[in-house]
Amino acid sequence: MTWLTLLPTASVVFAFNESNLAGKIIVFVLFLGSVFAWSIMLTKFRDFSRARAATDRFLGAYRRDEHPVGLFLKRESYAPSPLDAIYMHACEALATALEARGADRGDLFMGGVGSTMHRLGEMQVSAVRNVAERTMADEALMLEDSMGLLATAVTAAPFLGLLGTVWGVMEAFSGMAATGSPMLSAVAPGISGALLTTVVGLLVALPSSIGYNMLSNKIRRFCVEMDNFSQELNQDVERYFLHEGPSDGA
C-alpha cells in the first residue's frame, strides 16, 4: 500500500476501477445528474437574484408614483420582476377597457378627476382583476420551472446509488461463492466498488436537497409578494377608476 491510497481521490479511483459494469454506468448517470442539478440551481439562483433586485426597484418606483398607471405611461420597465409582468398586463387590460369607453390611452391620468369617460363599471374592473390574477398564476408557474427536475434528482439519486450498491454486493458474494474462497479479501474490492454508487448518490442528493429548499423558499416569497401586490394594484384601480354609481351598462 502506498501513500496514494490514503487520499480520498485515490480511494474513489480504486473503488471505481473495482466496480462492475452496472456500477460504473450508475456512477456515470449520477455524475450527469449532478451536472444537470447544479446547472439548474445556479441558473435559478442567478435569475432569482436579478428578479429580487428588479422587484425591490419596481415596488419603490410604484409606491412613489401618485397614480397607479404612472409607470405604465412612462414606459418604465422592470422586466426581470414577476410583479412588473402583473402590472403591465393589468395596465394593458385597463387601457383597453378605457379605450372601449372612448377614452384616449394617453389620458389615463384623468381617471382621478371624476370624468365618466375615465370611469369603469364593476364588470370591467373585475376583468382587470382577473387579468392580474391570471398573470400572477403564470408567473408562479415560470418561477417553478425546472423545480420538478431538481426534486427528481433529490429523490432518485440516493435510490439509484443504493441500487448500484446492492447489485455490486450481490455480484461480489456470487463471485466468492463461485470461487469457493471464504476470505474477506476476495470480496472486499467488489464491495468497495459497490459502495461507491451510494456515496456518489448522496453527493448528488445532498446539495440538490439544500438548493431545492432554498429555491422553494424564494419562490414562496415571490408568490406572497405577487399576491400582495395584485391586491394593492386592484385596490388602486378601484379607487381611481371604479364608477361608484350605476354601471350604465358597462
**Residue 246: inside a domain, yes or no?**
no
Domain around 211:
3-241
Q: At what angle do helices 188-241 and 21-64 cross, to 10 degrees?
A: 20
**Residue 151: inside a domain, yes or no?**
yes
Q: Is the pLDDT of residue 155 over 70?
A: yes
Q: Is the pLDDT of residue 142 over 60?
A: yes
Q: Is the pLDDT of residue 36 over 80?
A: yes
Domains: count for the chain: 1
Stronger pLDDT, 140 or 183, i.e. the higher one:
140
**Residue 248: inside a domain, yes or no?**
no
Backbone angles phi, psi at 183, to 5 degrees: -75, 140
Q: Is the pLDDT of residue 124 over 90?
A: no
pTM for this one?
0.81
CA nearest neighbour of 232 among 137, 136, 142, 138: 136
Q: Would you tell me how many other CB atoms lie within 10 Å of the CB of residue 116?
A: 13
Which pairs count as long-range contacts for 241-247, CB under 8 Å and 24+ apart, including other chains? Answer: 241/94, 241/98, 241/111, 241/118, 241/119, 241/120, 241/125, 242/119, 242/120, 242/122, 242/125, 243/116, 243/119, 243/120, 243/121, 247/121, 247/122, 247/123
Contacts of 133 (CB under 8 A, 6+ apart): 230
Give the pLDDT score at 99. 78
The listed range with the strongest mean pLDDT (11-20, 86-95, 170-179) is: 86-95
Q: Is the pLDDT of residue 122 over 90?
A: no
Q: Would you tell me how many other CB atoms lie within 10 Å of the CB of residue 13?
A: 14
**Residue 137: inside a domain, yes or no?**
yes
**Residue 115: inside a domain, yes or no?**
yes
Q: Is the pLDDT of residue 186 over 90?
A: no
Measure the CA–CA gap between 61 and 50, rounded to whole angstroms.
17
**Mean pLDDT of the 223-236 span:** 94
Residue 211 exposed, middle or buried by CB count within 10 Å (0-12, 13-18, 19+): buried
Q: Are 234 and 132 in contact (CB under 8 A)?
A: yes
Contacts of 167 (CB under 8 A, 6+ apart): 20, 22, 23, 194
- Using DSSP, state whether 195 is helix, strand or coil: helix
Which pLDDT band, with edges at 50, 70 and 90, does 1 fall under? Answer: very low
The H or E element that residue 219 is part of is helix 188-241
Beta bridge partners of 242: 120
Q: Is the pLDDT of residue 143 over 80?
A: yes
> Does the CA dihedral 120-61-47-216 come out positive or negative?
negative
**Residue 164: inside a domain, yes or no?**
yes
